[in-house]
Amino acid sequence: IGSLVGISFSANLMLLYIFWEVAALSAWRLYGFFRGKKEVIFANKAFLLTFLGSSFMLLGFILIYQARATLDLVVLRGQPVSNLALFFILLGIIAKSATLPIQVWMPDAYSGAPPPVCALSSVLIAKIGVFAFVRIFLFTFTVSWDWILWLAVISSLIGAAAALREKNIKRIIAYSTISQIGFILLGLALVGEIGLLAGLLYFVIHAVGKTGLFLGAGIVEQRCKESNLDKLGGLAKAMPVTAAGFLFCSLSIMGFPPFGGFYAKLMVILATV
C-alpha cells in the first residue's frame, strides 16, 4: 500500500522506480507465503518477469535523463522524448500489470498464493502499473495511442478466452483480472474525458468486486478443500451467503445492468465511437 501511495505522489521518475521495486519485492514474498516448492517456483517466476520489465523501465528512465538531464515529472511535462525510451517504460508497465505479452506470471502466482494475498495483489499490486501509466503517459509525455489501444483490446480478449478454458477457480479469476486490466487501460488510452472517467470508474469497481471474488474463492477452498470447478457443485445451498456475494461481485465486474460495471463499460464504448 505504501508503494502504491509513493508511486501515486512521486514527482521524480527515480523515486517512482524505487517505490516500484519495493512493491515487487513485497509481492514476491507474499506470493511465496506458504513456502511450498510449487509456491516458491510461481513466486520466483512472477518476480523474475516483473523484474525484467522493471529493468527495461529503468533503461527508459536513463535514456530520458541522457536526453533531458532531469527526471522531474513537472519539468518533463510536454517535453518530447525518444519513442525507444517510452517503449521501454511501457514494457515495465505491462509486465507489472500482467498485460499481453507479459501476462503469464499472474495465473501461476495467484493459484499458489493465499486468497487474501490474491485479493491484495489484484486490487493494488497489479494496479500499480495502471497508476504509473496515468502518471507517465497521461500526465507527462505525449505518445501515439493507436498501438496502445490495440494492445489493451487484444490483452483483454486473450485474458477472457483463457479464463474460459480454466478449471481452477483462482486461475479463472486471475485471467479475468488480465482481461479487465486491459479494459481499464483501453479506457485510459482513449484519453478523452469520457474514456478517462470510465477507466477510473471501472478501476474502482474492479477493485471492490475482485476482492470479493478472491475472498469467496478462499472460503470455498478452505471449506471444500478443492478448487477445481468440475469437482464443485451445489454450493449455493450449502453456502448461500458466499454464493450471493460471489454472484453480486461477478455481475458487477461483468457489466450486467444495473451494476456499476455496466455504466463503466458503456462509457468506454461511447468513448470509442
Query: Is the domain of 69 the same as that of 157?
Result: no
Query: Is the domain of 107 the same as that of 160?
Result: no
pTM score, whole prediction: 0.84
Query: Is the domain of 93 the same as that of 151?
Result: no
- For residue 101, whether the previous peptide bond is cis, meaning omega lies within 30 degrees of 0, is yes
Full domain range(s) for residue 210: 144-273
Query: Is the domain of 271 the same as that of 152?
Result: yes
CA distance 110 to 151: 23
Q: Mean pLDDT across the chain, nearest whole number?
A: 83
End-of-domain residue from the set 74, 103, 138: 138
CA distance 106 to 96: 9
Query: Is the domain of 217 the same as that of 198?
Result: yes
25-77, pLDDT tens digit by residue? Answer: 888 877 877 777 877 888 888 888 888 888 999 999 999 999 888 888 888 88
Query: Is the domain of 251 the same as that of 148?
Result: yes
Query: Is the domain of 39 the same as that of 90?
Result: yes
Query: Is the domain of 65 the same as that of 156?
Result: no
**pLDDT in the model for residue 59:** 93
**How many Cα atoms sit within 13 Å of 265 on the Cβ side?**
20
* 186 found inside a domain: yes
Cell of 141: 509525455
CA distance 67 to 72: 13
Query: Is the domain of 164 the same as that of 45?
Result: no
178-206, pLDDT tens digit by residue? Answer: 888 888 888 888 777 888 888 888 888 88
Query: Is the domain of 154 the same as that of 94?
Result: no
What's the domain count of the chain? 2
